[in-house]
Amino acid sequence: MRCYSPDMGADWAPDFRGPGFCQGGENVVPGRSCIFAANHQSQFDIFALQGYFPFDFRWLAKKELFRIPFFGPAMIRAGHIPVDRAHGRKALKSLDAAAERISTGTSVIIFPEGTRSVDGRLGEFKTGAMILAIKAGVPLVPVAICGSHEILPKGAFLARPGRVAIRIGRPIETVGMKLKDKTALAAELHAAVESLLDQGVG
């Protein structure tokens, strides 16, 4: 599960490099908090989500970012959620706090692969996002970001012209699930995101 933080420039993100669109918004239940789980092909994913994603959300961010002067307080004011990515009790306590925020009405976006894809292909999903969804009792909404790898692949510094499509799938309910179900849930979510990715930019 990879965590990101800032409110990036949503006003200019759509014009950064080429057109983009979002499809499948009808799958999101208005007024219900959820965890949007997206593939992670590129740093450009952040700009694409800020520019084209039509729903209110917050980022999960590693707690160290909240200690940075000026930047950290701004993140707190924006409502972003700190998480401890270490192992052990502190990490579990951090997930519990994040789950409580989500269960009371805050939707978040996460990247369950935990890192950017080197070649654009979908990687294995970590179970941290599944644990968070089960603890919060909210649905996981599969999201596929298509085309961003071609615009800004991992390791590149300059973006290339291209087109981005964000595809939103049907929510996967977690009510009634136990933590022991996290691996099966990760497999179901992975298959849903992969199916959306297969549709490509269109």
Task: Dig out the tokens for 177 from the structure.
Answer: 């699930």
The answer to whether position 39 is within a domain reads: yes
The answer to whether position 83 is within a domain reads: yes
Domain count, the chain: 1
Q: How many CB atoms lie within 10 A of CB 179?
A: 11
In angstroms, rounded to a whole number, what is the distance separating the alpha carbons of residues 38 and 32? 18
Q: For the domain that residue 71 is a member of, what is the CATH number?
A: 3.40.1130.10
Which pLDDT belongs to residue 88? 61
Q: Of the candidates 59, 148, 46, 131, which has an alpha carbon nearest to the alpha carbon of residue 93?
A: 131
* Residue 124 DSSP symbol: P
Summary mean pLDDT of the chain: 86
The answer to whether position 4 is within a domain reads: no
Which pLDDT belongs to residue 109? 92
Q: Give the three-class secondary structure for 135.
A: helix
Tallying the residues shown for the chain, one arrives at: 202
Q: Give the three-class secondary structure for 138.
A: coil
The answer to whether position 144 is within a domain reads: yes
Orientation angle between helical segments 89-103 and 128-136, nearest 10 degrees: 50
- Top-ranked range on mean pLDDT: pick from 71-80, 122-131, 160-169, 187-196: 187-196
Residue 45: which domain range? Answer: 13-197
- The average pLDDT across 127-151 equals 95
The answer to whether position 2 is within a domain reads: no
The answer to whether position 8 is within a domain reads: no
The answer to whether position 202 is within a domain reads: no
The answer to whether position 108 is within a domain reads: yes
Read off the pTM.
Answer: 0.84
Which pLDDT belongs to residue 197? 97
- The average pLDDT across 28-54 equals 92
CA 61 to chain centre: 11
